[in-house]
Structure 1
Amino acid sequence: MTLDTLDISIFIFYVIGLLIAALWISRNESAQDRTTDDYFLASKSLPWWAIGASLIAANISAEQIIGMSGSGFAIGLAIASYEWMAAITLLIVGKYFLPIFLNSGIYSMPQFLDKRFDHRVKTVMAIFWLGVYVFVNLSSILWLGGLAISAMTGVDILFGMLFLALFSIAYSLYGGLKAVAFTDIVQVILLVIGGLILSYLALDEIAQGQGIIAGFSLLTELAPEKFDMILSPDNPHYMSLPGISVLVGGMWVMNLSYWGFNQYIIQRALAAKNINEAHKGIVFAAFLKLLMPIIVVLPGIAAVILIPDLSAPDQAYPEMMGLMPHGLKGLIFAALVAAIISSVSSMSNSISTIFTLDIYQSLVPNKSQKHYVNVGRMASLIALCMALIIAKPLLGNFDQAFQYIQEFTGFFTPGIVVIFILGLFWKGINANGALAAAISSAVCSLLFKVLWPELPFIDRIGLVFILCIVIAIMTSLLSVQSNKEHNHAVDLSKISFKTSSIFNTAVVALVLIIAALYATWW
């Protein structure tokens, strides 16, 4: 695929416009006066539209667009469960978790663990998150982004990765979370418009100019196996999405971990002006999640008909973009890069937040705000360099990177969810119980993986989650504090879980829409 002068002009206009916007947003904050609240939490001033857009922009990156589209090519619409169930998960997080986090005044997930348990739990989980963010998330975002740029322009993958890293540094390293969050509204608009255009043109191509309705109808006829939302045990991809377990099992654990207890995501909501703005932002993000399968999965399914002889599933989205006319290629290319850049910047900012405020500040206290902001910038820069170096060795041999990421993080997800759920809502859990849950999550997951390899990883996550709950409770009851309430327990009597009529209406609407989607494609 090649980009002509018009495509390149559109892309250059986007790059320059984004840089100008980021600098303009940060114009009132001098580097001398910027505090850690300003840099890491956008001065706790984000409005609802910035929160919602930033949640989606941070989530929908190369690993989602390239990886999920590849899974759409290989598996079909069933992979959309990650998106549609995430919409409901967001509302659960907004109603039950976010009020506690905002009331505690935290800036990071490790800080909550420090307040609720002790320094040991905070440090262990902070180091874990830094490892996963650098060695799994950031490296995969850069690798898949470089893969997309290479497929569309012909440049070397490593050059594409370097461009993404430098572009991210240019607009986010100075302005911090505020620059990232407020420019994300532009990113999301471009992503949604570009993605919808690609899906429209793909369906029209299948119908040979007869329109998207005819194209979609023909696609369901030519590839009916790609439109099963609940896979049967004889499906070759049952190990990835094991039937009804997707709706009632381990995927809930994965979604709660990602949307509720993941610094990379929740940091946007922690930076809200107030709880009402956070709620509205989460509702906005939840409705945007309904669109994501149309934007991301549908092009992958369409590729089954239009370009069936792909060398690897993750080539689906880049190759589909190659079918677009010039001009639109530039727009869709800009949309893809917009999503990747936003996620790279968001991940880098979260890495710098955890490293600076949860690890470095504990080791080197009583320094100036400027000092910690500069350390945060340096942490972002080092993380990007490390991710660039390790991306190819780690991810170069995987055909479906999205599924790889889900399975790897699934080793630790059950323990994380147990620590937070019990830490939020059960006074009896203590630090020993939390550490036991973290350790048992990795150990039990590895044992199941080795001794029961035919068990789908989503089912494994559900089983390990139950085991971690039992282990955490037993350890807490048997430890020194067995007959006492933990003195750092959350006082739920002081937390208001009341939500507005708009939020409640959105819950009903989303549940009905998703139920209808599953009923249609069961």
Structure 2
Amino acid sequence: MKLDMLDTSVFIAYVVGLLILALWISRNESTHERNTEDYFLASKSLPWWAIGASLIASNISAEQIIGMSGSGYAMGLAIASYEWMSAITLLIVGKYLLPIFLKNEIYTMPQYLEQRFDARVKTILALFWLVVYVFVNLTAVLWLGGLAIETVAGVDWLFGMIFLALFSIAYSLYGGLKAVAFTDILQVVLLVFGGLLLSYLALDAVADGQGFLVGFGILTEKVPTHFDMILSSDNPNYMSLPGISVLVGGMWVMNFSYWGFNQYIIQRALAAKSTAEAQKGIAFAAYLKMLMPLIVVLPGIAAVILYPDLTKPDEAYPSMMSLMPAGIKGLVFAALVAAIVSSLASMTNSISTIFTMDIYKPIKPNKSQTHYVFIGRLATLVALSLALITAQPLLGKFDQAFQYIQEFTGMFTPGIVVIFVLGMFWQRATSMGALSAALGSAILSFTLKMLMPEIPFMDRVGIVFLLCMALAIGVSLLGKPSTNNSSVSLDDVKFNTEPSFNVAAIGCVIVLAVLYVTWW
């Protein structure tokens, strides 16, 4: 599939417009010498709408759009649990976790671990996150993004990856988090509009021009099993989404790790004007998450009817784009690229923050603010260069890069969640308990995968979480109580939320309950 002249013109207009917006935002920031708070935390000035939009723009990328559409093609609406369960997770993070982080005035997640435990825990986790962000997350986004550009525009995947890297640098390197967050507003508008338009046209095509409501009815009639939210044990996709444990098992661990303790996600909320503003932004993001299945999963289900003979499920989304008329195709392609470059910019900004504040600054503690900002920019360039070099060797042999991400991070996710949960809510937790959870997570995950491969991945995450929790508690009780407990005190933390957040949370829960009851 190739883009015609009108599509290309629309796409170029998007690229130029985004760069102009980013430069304008960055120029407004240049009235004084930029310090680390300006660059890494947007001067702690982000409003709720920028936080919510940036959270979603950072989250949605090629692996979500293409991968989840492919999963919609293969297994149906059940894959939407990743999105809908995330909405509930966001609300819990906003009410119970975020106030603790903001009270401690941190830049990074490793910084909190140093305040709560010691420098060993901080350094080990900081190095782990740097490796994961560069060699797992960045490589996956670049690789899948390059393949998407090759499929849609006919440009070689390598040149596509280079374009994405240069594009993300061009609009984020100078302005830092503020440039990323405010341009994310444009990215999300385009992503939502383009995605909803594609879903509308797909359902209309299923109905042969009789409208999207008729098309949706035809889908539910012809492929009813694709609308089962909870898969039975005899379903061929049960290993990926193991029935009721999707609602009560390991997915909660994965979601809390991602939305609560993931630097490139939570950094937006850390940059808020206030706790209340951050919570409003998180509630806004929760509603956008509920909308995502309409944008990324529904087109994949429609492709079952329109393109029943695809060789791979991940071809569903690019194939659906061929339905687009001239001009609209360029707009939807721009939305796809918008999601990719936003994720790249968010990841590289967080990589530079962790490297500068948690690794470099302790080694060189007395440098100027300008120097640290320079090191952050340099870290961004190095991280993207490494990801470009290693993306194809690491991911070229995988049929689904999304599985690569889940399998690798899932080895460590249970331990990370245990460390933070015990560290935040149990004063008796010690640094040795935290380190035992981190090490135990990798060992136990690998052992269970080798000895009991029949256990679904998500169930294995839940089991390892419980084992790591028991291990960390046991080791902590055997050791001496921690003397560095200032960060764990909850006396000054206010968990009460504004009425607007409470109403939004109740509304979200009601909507999700209706969705699950309807499609159970």
Question: Which residue of the partner structure matches residue 130 of structure 2?
Answer: 130
2:515 to 496, 514, 517: 517
Q: 2-side partners of 1:83 and 1:420: how far apart?
A: 23
For residues 73-116 of structure 1, give each alpha carbon's deviation from its aligned partner in whole angstroms, at most 9, with x where no partner exists: 11211110000000000000000000010010001000000000
Check if 1:487 corresponds to 2:485: yes
Residue identity in the other structure for 1:49: W
Q: Is the 8 A contact 2:115 2:484 kept in 1?
A: no
How far apart are the structure 1 equivalents of 2:411 and 2:368? 38
Q: Which residue of 1 aligns with 2:450?
A: 450
Q: Which runs of 5+ in 2 are unaligned?
A: none
CA distance, structure 1, for counterparts of residue 29 and residue 196 of structure 2: 37
Alignment correspondent of 1:222: 222
Counterpart mapping for 1:469-488 below 5 A:
469-481=469-481, 487-488=485-486
User: What are the within-5 Å matches in structure 2 for residues 311-322 of structure 1?
Assistant: 311-322=311-322
Q: Partner letter of residue 263 of structure 2?
A: Q
| CA displacement, residues 337-388 of structure 1 (integer Å, 9 cap, x when unaligned) | 1111100000000000001110011112111111111111111111111111
Counterparts in 2 of 1:412 and 1:458: CA distance versus 1, 3 Å: same
C-alpha deviation, 1:485, in angstroms: 6.4
CA-to-partner distance for each residue in 1:42-71, whole Å, 9 max, x for gaps? 000000000000000000111111111111
Instruction: State the partner residue of 2:6.
Output: 6
Q: Provide the residue aligned with 2:294 in structure 1.
A: 294
Q: CA deviation at 1:312?
A: 1.7
CA distance in structure 2 between the partners assigned to 1:490 and 1:457 by the alignment: 32
Instruction: State whether structure 2 residue 90 is matched by structure 1 residue 90.
Output: yes
TM-score (norm 2): 0.98
Task: Give per-residue Cα distances to partners, 1:302-342, cap 9 Å, x unaligned.
Answer: 11111122222222111211221111101101111111110
CA contact (8 A) 1:58 1:265 kept: yes
Q: Counterparts of 1:43-54 in structure 2 under 5 Å? A: 43-54=43-54
Query: % of aligned pairs identical?
Result: 71
Q: Please list, as runs of the form range in 1=range in 2, the aligned pairs for 1:106-121 lying within 5 A after superposition.
A: 106-121=106-121
Quick check: 1:501 aligned with 2:499?
yes
Q: State the Cα deviation string for residues 231-274 of structure 1 (Å, max 9, x = none).
A: 11111111110000000000000000100000010000000000
Distance 1:486 1:220 in 2: 57
Q: Flag structure 1 segments of 5+ consecutive residues without an equivalent.
A: none
Deviation at 1:31, TM superposition (A): 9.0
How far, CA to CA, are the matches of 2:32 and 2:144 in structure 1? 36
2:366 corresponds to: 366
Counterpart contact for 2:104–2:487, Cα < 8 Å: no
Superposed displacement of residue 489, structure 1 = 4.8
Q: Contact 1:69/1:300 (CA < 8 Å) preserved in 2?
A: yes
How far apart, in 2, do the equivalents of 1:50 and 1:480 lie? 44
**Paired positions, count:** 520
CA contact (8 A) 1:70 1:400 kept: no
**How far off its partner does 1:400 sit?**
2.8
Alpha carbons 2:146, 2:157 under 8 Å: kept:
yes
How far apart, CA to CA, are the structure 2 residues paired with 1:294 and 1:391? 30
1:407 Cα shift?
2.4
Q: TM-score normalized by structure 1?
A: 0.98
Greater CA deviation, 67-76 or 135-144? 67-76
Distance in 2, Cα, partners of 1:157 & 1:309: 24
Cα distance in 2 for residues equivalent to 1:462 and 1:136:
22
Q: How does 1:26-37 map to 2 (within 5 A)?
A: 26-30=26-30, 33-37=33-37
| Separation in 1, partners of 2:496, 2:254 | 26
The separation in 2 between residues aligned to 1:166 and 1:309, in whole angstroms, is 36
Deviation at 1:29, TM superposition (A): 2.7
Q: Distance in 2 between matches of 1:485 and 1:246?
A: 39
Contact 2:240-2:458 within 8 A present in 1 as well: yes
Residue in 1 that maps onto 2:307: 307
Amino acid across the alignment from 1:435 = L
